[in-house]
Structure formats: C-alpha cells, structure tokens
Amino acid sequence: MTPDSDAPDWVGYAQALGARLHRLRIEHGFSQERLAYSAGITRYTYQKLEKGESAPGTPANPTLRNLMAIAQQLDVTLDTLLPQPWPDLSGH
C-alpha cells in the first residue's frame, strides 16, 4: 500500500522526517552534497527528502534502500532516523 498523497498523516510525517534528516545531518557535520554522495544518492534526491516532498505538493516517499544508506552514513539506526509515532497507513 502506498500512502495517499492527500493524507494529512503522511504529509506531516514526510515533513517531520525531513526535519529530522536536516537536524541529524547538521549534528554529524555533513553538507547535503557530502551526505548524498556518501549514501549513493543524488543531492537533488536528498534535498527533496529534507524538504519532505518528492515534487511540489507531493509528500516524500523515500525507498528503504535510501533510508538505510542515509542511516548508515549518519551512524544511526532506522528507529533513530524515523520520527515516532509512525502514521497509520492501514486505510481505516
């Protein structure tokens, strides 16, 4: 199931993830370019993640691979990287 781009829970979660990525990147002394390069993703892709969107008006929906690569470069677990609580994606 993919999150509905209009679902307020997902929009807010994508923004919270972006804010967390930004904070952790700064704390670890990375530039956006350096972290993206180290994680094997483009700087543009990383910038969009920090903004919480994949395109204007569309919330980010990063791949697990990208999240894992970023977490490894920041030397944090996925639990640290992902904001809590997770949004309800059950569709209920």
DSSP state letter for 3? P
pLDDT in tens, the chain (92 residues): 344 445 668 899 999 999 999 999 999 999 999 999 999 999 999 999 999 998 888 999 999 999 999 999 999 999 999 999 988 877 65
Confidence (pTM): 0.86
Please tell me the predicted confidence (pLDDT) of residue 88: 81
Superfamily name with CATH number, domain 8-78: lambda repressor-like DNA-binding domains (1.10.260.40)
pLDDT at 7: 64
Q: What pLDDT sits at residue 64?
A: 96
Amino acid at 48: K
In whole angstroms, what separates CA 92 from the centre of its chain?
24
